[in-house]
Amino acid sequence: MIDVEDLIALVRNYNPRCNAELIRQAYAYGMKMHEGQFRKSGEPYFTHPVAVAAILTEQHLDDATIITALLHDTIEDTKSTYSEVARLFGNEVAELVDGVTKLTNLQLSSTHTQQAENFRKLFMAMSKDLRVILVKLADRLHNMRTIKSMKPEKQAQKARETMEIFAPLAGRMGMQWMREELEDLSFKVLNPEARNSIMRRFLLLQRESGDVVHKITADIRLELDKVQIEASVYGRAKKPYSIWRKMQEKDLAFSRLSDIYGFRVICGSVADCYRILGVIHQRWRAVPGRFKDYISQPKTNGYRSIHTTVSGRDGKRVEVQIRTREMHEVAEAGVAAHWSYREGVRAKNPFAVDPAKWIATLTERFDEGDHDEFLENVKLEMYSDQVFCFTPKGDVVQLPRGATPLDFAYAIHTRIGNSTVSAKIDGIRVPLWTRLKNGQSVEIITAEGQRPQASWVDIVTTGRAKAAIRRSLREEDRGRFVRLGQELARAAFEHVGKKATEKALRTAAKMLGVPDEAELLARLGSAELTARKVVETLYPELTLSVTDEVEPARPVLGLPDDQSVRRAPCCQPLPGERIVGITYRGQGVVVHAIDCPALEEFEEQPNRWVDLHWHAGRHKAVNTVSLELTISNDAGVLGRICTLIGEQKANISDLRFTERKPDFYRLIVDVDLRDVEHLHMVMTALEAETDVAQVSRHRDKTRRP
């Protein structure tokens, strides 16, 4: 644990005039309040608040924020009170500690109504003082760094919450380094196999091509020296999660992914930024469509930089970011730059965004709609990258990347969006589904009597537009939708031998988080919900039983009838997972999961790859999957686990112990399953069992077809 004098030294590095005595008092008070409390790892609990404070010193934050970090769990977890903290450390610190306490109590990963309400509270707390969320983000970062000591199910819950809420929020606040680390730590918990696969491929790539980062950095420095521009050049490989996300979005194998390296050039002036851009584009070929100028059009969180992607050494694509030193400080700290100190005075960085204005831009479009619409707005706003377009009068409208003229119309006013008939971009009439680009001028043409069409929901990108269109569609023709929904529900319920009674529909509405049965029917009629989803919610097993069964001998589509096919033993793919076939001479086609490491050896043999898909329908439980379990060494535990698996209608085909210890056993259980949903049901049931310490899918790379 960092002692108090070391912590004060970290603060003095950027703020020599800090109130060292007050920090000492807060350190001593926090240690006393948390005395006797321990973390899951066995460490004294106070190591956590100190680590959070240390993370915040990296952002050069003010004394009040550092002291809040030291005390952030005192009101929540000790006998300390708001009034005592206010008396000892002042009202500013007490308000911040109270704000962090309230955020800690919000169950942000809960669902529907409660989650929407908690998001509102989150943004209210942020609007009072943004430093509250800075402390909370540092708190979450340290918890994710030390998550190994928690139970597996708790790790998964925290990782999902971090991936869905805290990581994008850090990105929206301009703290990209924190977003990347939070995403990667979550990825490590949620999909360790995929992350390890990417790390292994990285090492292989480095062995084959050497230190690419060092070579390209030297190339850029050489070009800048030729024209006598002073600048610092830094390069790095992108984080595993960032690479994984690109692979998923572009549906590419690792070997076909090009821009996995990123470089930064940091210089002294804006003029130098554009000169450096010219030098790089003269030396290397620019990749079309990958240039972004955030200096002339900054992001709403204050971020400024030039981004370009070029074909560098050996044809490898690399992303280059060019910015001044002041821009770099904001890029690292984001909105937090507003409170940062340098040499004892508040930093007056001209590019740092005023937090009050920033929070206003984040929340200005959140109408008082229903809960689902509010959540959709929040999440779209948090994840979005921005484009800036102009009205005919020259006003700037900010929209998420991928937005259309319809989004533009709804951003101006719901009434204009509802009555839109066509649009012009830079004076030329375009379809309403056209994707907007930075700097375009957009003119919306409206007509009296025009109403939104159902197809518009798929055209728009913003939560505001989607919510307005759905609301208008429901209000305009609700009666027709209800009648249609009744007919759809009747047919779907009869298909499983049930009746769509008011009580059944009311129960389904409650389970799906819909206000009442009338609203459920309206959403059925407007195709926002499927009748199958409603029936599955009430009668999951009945729904499965009536689905057409798939012949086990022909589980996949894409092969001639006489072609033999079998599942690869190395990755054991299941129906529902993305797959690919590999032809083997004399063995037919072997089906592999798309992320199977064994596919690497076939990357240079494209003629052996076969595009395959699973047959739609109900597969029989004949697909063996190996599960690795760590269980307590107690009487009856193994029997309960076997019973649990049986209750999920899964058969155990083999069981072998890999490790026997006095307090635990490690074993591999082979289970026969239908599909990936069946696997999820089995693993969820096992994870909920108290005596199961860990459960994961076991894939044996040594087992080859």
Measured CA to CA, the distance from residue 256 to residue 399 in angstroms comes to 31
CA 624 → CA 19, 29, 646, 656, 687, distances in Å? 64, 57, 14, 15, 19
Contact in structure between 508 and 520 (CB atoms under 8 Å): yes
Report how far apart, in Å, the C-alpha atoms of 503 and of each of 482, 516, 528, 530, 538 are: 16, 11, 21, 19, 11
Say if residues 294 and 385 touch (Cβ distance below 8 Å). no
Q: If phi over 0 gives left and psi between -120 and 50 gives alpha, with beta otherwise, what is residue 576?
A: left
Cα–Cα dist 66/13, whole Å: 14
- Give the total residue count for the chain: 705
Q: Which of 58, 76, 687, 689 is catalytic?
A: 76
Strand partners, 265: 233, 322
Alpha-carbon span 335 to 132, nearest angstrom: 12
- Tell me the C-alpha distance between 205 and 260, whole Å: 11
Contact indicator for 251, 225 with CB cutoff of 8 Å: no
77 is catalytic: yes
| Residue 355 structure tokens | 């937090």
CA–CA distance, 183 with 169 (Å, rounded to integer): 11
Tokens encoding 33: 């309040």
* Closest C-alpha to 405, from 417, 392, 388: 417
Which of the residues 43, 58, 77, 677 is marked catalytic? 77
Question: Half-sphere exposure of residue 329, counting CA atoms within 13 Å on the CB side?
Answer: 18
CB 178 within 8 A of CB 170: yes
Between the CA atoms of 163, 169, 175 and 178, what dihedral angle is there, to the nearest 10 degrees? -20
- Identify whether the C-beta of residue 512 lies closer than 8 Å to the C-beta of residue 459: no
Nearest to 1 by CA among 101, 41, 88: 41
Would you name the residues annotated as active-site residues? 76-77
